[in-house]
Chains A and B, each alone.
Chain A
């Protein structure tokens, strides 16, 4: 199962740091996401760009995780040679992450 089936996401950028929120469609899936979408897995998923520290913050009230990828934007929007210098597209790329089949998948 892909992360996309359980969560939506948005990317923001500040300098050379990208943050990607991962938000459960159904708050009941938050515990599952917390278990399986770890900072380590996100770092591995983005192995080619996440060369620095990857942090994860939990916001259980909102059913959300916030990933902070340091040094992931080729120097940041004002300097990067990348076509998508902001890294706006990273959220959708993260939603391709494969997860083990959930015991309970939100009825949506």
Chain B
């Protein structure tokens, strides 16, 4: 029975580089996917492109391609990635440059475009999913980007036309891994159960180390060995879509029913209706079975017809955020921290800093912790944190400045102040009929 082996080389833009080299060298894989495009990243990339038209693709693209291309070419591994971000054509050109520099001739590189639907969104009447009654158009000139989540079709076509490397902008994350399956097995695009099972496989792979023991270890409860050399996952997928998730033998980490179950449910809402561009996947009957050491067999994914709508992420300039932090230690640290927060609260009021939202935390007590407070002794050190939302950068800067003045005007023994202010590019979403979105493919050969 034919088997396709797909590796996952990155789970986010800044992810470790060497695990992908390990997969390319020793994973016996035919495809290597890199998922590097978080919700907001494309808006930030689009903004970067406004000042430099050549930019707008993933900042680690060059480093990743330099690292993996030699082994991928030697072992005939095809690469699929969304590192194109806001500029897939630029990313393809840069990848070609890296390949030529490495002396790799004859590589066919495909760039997928058409996910950029800013014009359609600006011209239309699209309700925001998060804000019923509000439309995208109401965001006006604050909109930076609008990108539809494309499905597998353009990637499959690029593979069919012989692409060695496929670089996309926004596509659904699982599509990076589903596309080679559809291409290799020739699945029909109405074979909903196969597409549903393929979604399961893609979903399990897309966060890379999160299924091999990353975001998982909990000493004494869930112990994981050698996280510093965490191996990234690969899937051995059969014609019927069933798969085994595993990793390169000897790499760090673990692939277990526990790690796979956590990742299966990661960012999932209703398990029976996981909306994708190509299918509504059903995870509710998925089985995870041990199939040897660090091998988990995945089966039982199903699906129903796609909705015909694509999700669109809209990046826009939302607000500004200013922040300041200061630490206290030793006797009475918590009380001095609380006094410090009271002082800053009063100062922001007295000096008329205009904020639309304010937050006061004590790191070490209540900045992360939610739920009933545990009955614990006071910590030996704490750090206060004041954050506020403003309409201008100038107002945002004043928040951190007020925290910093605690050095000479606040409680005893305050140290290690830090401050920052930044523009907030936020993301909202809407749906667009798939008929309004036109994916396109451009090729170049090194």
Contacts and interface: CB of A to CB of B under 8 A. Distances in A.
Chain B binds chain A: yes
B265 A59 contact: yes
Interface stretch (B73-81, B160-168, B357-365): B357-365
Interface stretch (B2-10, B178-186, B345-353, B366-374): B366-374
Interface in A84-108: 84, 88-90, 92-94, 96-97
* Interface size bracket, B side: 35 or more
B262 A23 contact: yes
A45 B372 CA distance: 7
B369 A61 contact: no
Contacts of B270: 55, 57, 68
B368 A84 contact: yes
A13 interface: yes
Contact of B40 (A16, A46, A66, A78): A78
A86 B345 CA distance: 25
B188 interface: no
B221 A14 contact: no
A81 B321 contact: yes
Given A8-B222, A78-B40, A78-B425, A61 B287 contact: yes
Contacts of A19: 265-269
A81 B367 contact: no
A77 interface: yes
Contacts of A46: 370-371
B370 A93 contact: yes
A15 B130 contact: yes
Interface in B421-442: 424-427, 429
Nearest to A94: B371
B221 A4 contact: yes
Most buried by B among A14, A59, A89: A59
Interface in B347-405: 357-359, 361, 363, 367-372, 374, 385, 387-389
Contact of B363 (A49, A76, A83): A83
Nearest to A75: B426
A55 B389 CA distance: 30
B39 A23 contact: no
Given A57-B271, A59-B271, A64 B369 contact: no
A48 interface: yes
Given A66-B268, A66-B271, A82 B369 contact: no
Interface of A: 4, 8-10, 12-17, 19, 21, 23, 25, 45-46, 48-49, 55, 57, 59, 61-64, 66, 68, 75-79, 81-84, 88-90, 92-94, 96-97
Given A10-B263, A89-B369, A94-B371, 19 more contacts: A4-B221, A8-B221, A10-B216, A12-B265, A12-B267, A21-B266, A48-B370, A59-B265, A61-B286, A66-B269, A68-B269, A68-B270, A78-B318, A78-B425, A78-B426, A81-B358, A83-B385, A93-B371, A96-B371
